[in-house]
Amino acid sequence: MSKKVWFVGAGPGDPELITVKAQNLIKTADAILYAGSLVPHALTQWSKPDCVIQDSKGMSLDEITDWLIQQAEDGKVVIRLQTGDPSLYGALIEMVQPLDKAGIEVEVIPGISSAMAAAAAAVESLTLPEVTQTVILTRVEGRTPMPKGESLKELAAHHSTLCLFLSITLLHKVTKELIEIGYAEDSPVTVVQKASWGEQEKIVKGTLSTIKKQCQTEKIASQAMIIISPTLGARDWDTLKKSKLYDASFTHRFRKGITTESSK
């Protein structure tokens, strides 16, 4: 029998936001190792009664990879269930390398990132025509250093959308540094804690000058996405640049544009 481990994106938290492919795989799994500090146990609900389910929140990297290898050695359907998408802050490669050395096949199933779930929860668009067409997924330097050229100040200089992972405890640093490089104190900020987690979800909308105190009031200190973008609040704008794709005067391969006086 083949030896294989599946790395599965569990999505942002809501079990209904996992992919159909991932759900079907969970139904066949013999062993599931899930990141219990971030992935709700409810995401294992489709597993077989005899499936071995282990929470990895107290395990080291070696313990995690040893467990996966041991389970895969018997030809079992083995799943590593990770929060969001495995390719984003998922320690994917450092887990895959020991499996490669052990001759165990690996396959990855993507998942919905908390960045997308947070924007959805807040009903915000991360891009808008002629406002910004760029989204930067990053984090603020804390105990884990950032590579050269990727400081918050350097990335924020683009004035595009910033989605900050793993940075809520450094929110004071975020606001201070952005104001220092010229962001207005009333620049909009949205923070979403536990996006898609039902009653545990919290959405806070404020500005660089108010957001820290707002989050303190709401006791938001973990599992939160920080979004800083010139697109925030566009739902309430009086004027908005519309997408060319749906403009009646815009021709594309599925529709011929209609010329009007205003489009000439």
Tell me the per-residue pLDDT of 7-30, one tens digit each, with 9 for 90 and over. Answer: 999 999 999 999 999 999 999 999
Predicted local distance difference test score (pLDDT) of residue 243: 73
Contact 31, 71 (CB under 8 A): yes
User: CB-based burial of residue 238 (10 Å sphere; 0-12 exposed, 13-18 middle, 19+ buried)?
Assistant: exposed
Rounded (10°) CA dihedral 179, 137, 147, 63: 130
Write the pLDDT tens digit of every residue in 204-229. Answer: 999 999 999 999 999 999 999 999 99
Quick one: CA dihedral 20, 24, 25, 27, positive or negative? positive
Output phi, psi for 14, to 5 deg.
-65, 120
pLDDT of amino acid 262: 57
Percent helix, percent strand, percent coil in the chain, to nearest 5? 30, 20, 45
Q: Is the full-model pTM beyond 0.75?
A: yes
- pLDDT band at 74; cut points 50, 70, 90: confident
Pairing of strands 135-139, 52-55: unpaired
Predicted local confidence at residue 144, as pLDDT: 85
Enumerate domains of the chain plus CATH numbers. 4-109 (3.40.1010.10), 114-234 (3.30.950.10)
Comparing CA positions, the residue from 2, 175, 177 lying closest to residue 74 is 2
